[in-house]
Structures are given as C-alpha cells and as structure tokens.
Amino acid sequence: MNKAIKLSIWVLVFGMLISSCSRSESKKSTPAGPITGYYQEQYRPRFHFSPEANWMNDPNGMVYFGGEYHLFYQYYPDSTVWGPMHWGHAVSTDLVSWKHLPVALYPDSLGYIFSGSAVIDSKNTSGLGSETDPAMIAIFTYHNPESEKAGSKTFQNQGIAFSTDKGRTWTKYSGNPVLKNPGIRDFRDPKVFWHDPTGRWIMILAVHDRVHLYSSPNLLNWTFESEFGKGMGAHGGVWECPDLFKLKVEGSDTSKWVMFVSINPGGPNGGSATQYFTGEFDGHKFVPENTNEKWVDWGRDNYAGVTWSNIPDTDNRRLFLGWMSNWDYATVVPTKVWRSAMTFPRELSLTTDNNQHFLSSKPVREIEKLREKSALIFSDPRTVTGEKVIHSDSLNLMQCELMFDFNLADSKYDSIGIILENSIHERLVIGYSSDKKQFFTDRSNAGNSNFSEKFGTVATAPYNAGNKLRIRLIVDAASAELFVDDGRLVMTNIVFPTEGFTVLKIFSTGGEVLIDHSEIYNLKSIWR
C-alpha cells in the first residue's frame, strides 16, 4: 500500500476512534447474559469448559486417546457446592469444543473419588486390557470421610479403575487400594506417567508439605523412590495436585524436567495457586535448579492445573488446563446453575534467562478456530495519552481476544494497559506499572464482589518489560486471561460485572505510549 493512502486510512481510523469515544460511553450496556437458553445464563462462559450443572473443581485424568482429548473433573452432581466427589467427564477432538459424557467414576465403599490422572497402558503392563486394545487407566485418591471423622490419619489411599471402551464405562480394580496410606493425613492427587529410560511407571503424589515419587512395573504395585519439597518453594498451605514432565527449552536442543505443585492457601496473591520447579529427573529422584518458588500463573484463578498425558510424539506439545477458581471464594461465586469453569487449554514451553529456566504458557493455537471475521486490526503505530476508547460496533467485549503490541522504547509513561468498562462504570483494569515494575489486574471495582471479602482485590506480578511489550487478553463472560510477551507472564482472573462490559479503553498515565499494532477478535460460542 502506498504511504499516502496508508496515512489517510490511519487518519480516518484514528478520527473514528476519537469520535467514537462519546458514542461508546453512552452506548447502552447489554446484560452480561440473559437467564435463558443453553449456556446463556448470566456469567456462563461461552468458549471455556464448564459443567452443565452443579459443582466442579480440579481437572482430572487428562489423557489423549484415539483422537479425543479426555477431560475428567472433580464433580458433585447433586449441588452447586463441594460434596462427595465423583469424576465428571467430557471429550474434545480439538481442545476447543467439548462434549459432555456421563459421570465416569462414582464414590464407593472405599470413599469419594478425589483428584488423579489417567494413562493409556499400551504395553498392557497391568494386564487389564491388551496390547491391541489398551486399557485407559485412571489413578485417583480414595478419600474416606467416615475414617476421617473417626480420627484416622489414613483416610486417603490411591486406587485405580480401567476402561476398555475409550473411557465410556469404567471398572474399579478389585485389589484397590493399590497404594496404601503410610499414616499421613494429606496423601493424594496421583499423577502417573511412563518413564521410558527406566521402563516403569512413575507416580508423583502430594504428601502434606512435599511430594513423594513412586515407581511401578504394572500400575498395581508401587515402590517408594524419593521425596522432594521440604523447605523448598512456597509453604503457605498444603501441597496438592502435582505434575512432573519433560519440557523442551525454546531455541535449544535440550530439555528440562518441570514439577508443578499446587498450594492452598499461600498463592502470591492470596489463596490457591500453582508453583513450579525446573530441574533433572533420572527416574528415581528430582534434583531442582531452583529452590525458590516460581508461579505458573500470577492471577487468582488458576488452580490444580496439570498436563495431558499421551499426546502423540508427532505433535510433541505439552498441554495444560487448570481450574479457574480459588478456594478463597469458589463455593460462593454468584453463578446459579453451575459453579466454576476451566482455563482455556494452554501450550507450555521453557525459556532461558540468566541461566535459569522459566515457564511460558499460551492459549493453544486451536483458539484461532473460534475467531470471527469481525476483527479490528490496526497495523499502524499510534499514540495514547490518558484513557482512549477503542470502538467497533461489532465488538463483543464479553467474548473476545485482544492483542496490543506496545513500543516502550519511544514511550515515557508511568503505567499503561487496558480497561474494560460497562455503562455503570464498573471496570476491570489490567496494566503494567513501569516504576513498580509489575503487572496488575484490578477487579476491585469490576462488579459483583460482595459474596466474599477476599474477592475484590488487585493481583500483582513482578515483571520487567523490555522495549516491546505484547499484551494478549482473552475475555469470556466472567473471566480474563492475560498473556504477556508470548506467555512469559500469565494472570488469570474471574470477574462478575453487574452488566456486560461494552467499552474498551487503552490507557497511559504519566505520558504517552506508542502502540505499534493491535488485533481484536470476537470469539465464537462453543455451546449450542
């Protein structure tokens, strides 16, 4: 395109932006969602996974098999608050659309079915399937409430169940439990994977304030290998839902092992959160590179997340998903029919900085399938001072993906960022402060928060922005997932505006900021 034409288009678009300011502010807010229709209720996520009805917490048993991504989850089918735990079940062929399936695992005489994982026993090590028709095996914690009430310490034990019809029907193993509690109150959330170099299964288990590693030739008999975590990382609460996997270091031929450990309470912004360690694992022992905690996500609402097993080598992706809530207030958030949603699935990688390894996570590329044509794309630089409205009649701020590339080299400012606002001036503010060197998500005046005094807070995360800063935000009814610089920093927060957000603003305080490029997409609903 010739320069003069480019300039006039820029002037036109910029003029529209400025003149749209008053229009958008006076535009009538639409409700965050009418209370009718399938997946149309107020605060119902339109492209995130949530159960049709009732209570959900941790993702469980995430495994890929025969073209399907399985998502099991902690589920209480009789109420919108936590209760006797079952495993709910859903499948997806593309990580974007989900199909609900019947409850997979019900509590039995050994207890409730707490969190755990699933594997495909391709070599039929367990003898529960066959090599031609391998069993899907779920490894979970039995939590026995009677034994807990009676004052026993051994009320959590590990059990297994198997399915030979792609996870549709399940049989509990007759020899359960397969790993008995040695006398420790918190003994749960097994994550199991095949360790090729030693030719055995490895289980990582959360054990009060540390993790235990076990090995097994057949998923039925387990041997203690080692423990990790005493005095390492964050210890503001109990350790839960661990994971251990090998991950490629971007731009190199090497890989590192990454250990995830969820902790509740004790997260960096209060309540539940997930920390990680990088290091080496030889099939017996995990040796960390860092003994201080690093956080998978600095927002308040990404907990108990783990990764999918059995992703094909040809794809070679490490895919993650977490529970988009926080035990600080999960049971009282203002949704009526169901409670909680999962994060959007994310792809993980490692980056190197000063000889240390850091996790990056970004939405899986399949998100592009959800993008609608009505995008707003500005590829010419523009400056922002104060608060500037970005307007488009077709923009649905309650269901969108926003991307802004800031050029900080030529900018002088105190803080910059994005504001989502509704007609009654409730606003979610997400930004970066140059003097504090931190990102923040401020939901203190973003709508309904009186259900818990722990909710309406400002979450912060240390960050040292370079000359270029890329902000990517995914908004869906009641959540905002922020990915900074290709996922080097992530903040996931839920939010309950009284009316839907209709005004998008970019702000810069203390000077002007240059934006090189921006792209905005409406995202489609997956529920019909």
Answer yes or no: 58 catalytic.
Answer: yes
Cα–Cα separations (whole angstroms), residue 201 to 191, 196, 244, 290, 395: 10, 9, 12, 25, 49
Q: Which of residues 193-222 bind ligand FRU (CB under 6 A)?
A: none
Q: Taking the complex as a whole, how short is the minimal distance between the CB of residue 347 and ligand FRU, in angstroms?
A: 23
Which CB atom, from 125 or from 325, has the smaller least distance to ligand FRU?
A: 325
Dihedral through CA 297, CA 303, CA 304, CA 306, nearest 10? -40
# residues contacting ligand FRU (CB under 6 A): 12
Among 42, 74, 396, 399, binds ligand FRU (CB under 6 A): 74
**C-alpha to C-alpha distance for 272 and 303, rounded to whole angstroms:** 6
Q: Taking the complex as a whole, how short is the minimal distance between the CB of residue 191 and ligand FRU, in angstroms?
A: 11
| CB burial string 198-216: b at 16+ within 10 A, e below | eebbbbbbbbbbbbbbbbb
Please tell me what DSSP assigns to residue 250.
T
Residue 61's H or E segment, with its range, is strand 54-65
Name which of 296, 347, 309, 282 is nearest 492 in CA terms: 296
Q: Which of residues 135-154 bind ligand FRU (CB under 6 A)?
A: 141
**C-alpha to C-alpha distance for 145 and 460, rounded to whole angstroms:** 37
Among 17, 85, 205, 342, binds ligand FRU (CB under 6 A): 85
Q: Taking the complex as a whole, how short is the minimal distance between the CB of residue 156 and ligand FRU, in angstroms?
A: 8
Give the torsion sign (CA, 88, 123, 69, 363): positive
Q: 414 in the Ramachandran plot: left (φ > 0), alpha (ψ -120 to 50) or beta? A: alpha
Give me the 107-136 binding string for ligand FRU, x by CB under 6 A, dash otherwise: -------xx---------------------
Which CB atom, from 114 or from 201, has the smaller least distance to ligand FRU?
A: 114
Binding status of residue 434 toward ligand FRU by CB under 6 A: no
As to burial, measured by CB atoms within 10 angstroms (0-12 exposed, 13-18 middle, 19+ buried), residue 459 is: buried
Among 46, 70, 188, 191, binds ligand FRU (CB under 6 A): 188
Q: Taking the complex as a whole, how short is the minimal distance between the CB of residue 188 and ligand FRU, in angstroms?
A: 5
Phi–psi pair at 153, nearest 5 degrees: -95, -10
Give me the 13-52 binding string for ligand FRU, x by CB under 6 A, dash otherwise: ----------------------------------------
Among 96, 160, 304, 395, binds ligand FRU (CB under 6 A): 304
Q: Which of residues 365-384 bind ligand FRU (CB under 6 A)?
A: none
Which CB atom, from 57 or from 309, has the smaller least distance to ligand FRU?
A: 57
Alpha carbon 15 to chain centroid distance?
Answer: 38
Binding status of residue 241 toward ligand FRU by CB under 6 A: yes
Cα–Cα separations (whole angstroms), residue 245 to 95, 130, 338, 350, 441: 20, 26, 32, 12, 30
Among 42, 54, 57, 302, binds ligand FRU (CB under 6 A): 57
Residues lying near ligand FRU in the complex (CB under 6 A): 57-58, 74, 85, 114-115, 141, 188-189, 240-241, 304
Residues acting as catalytic residues: 58
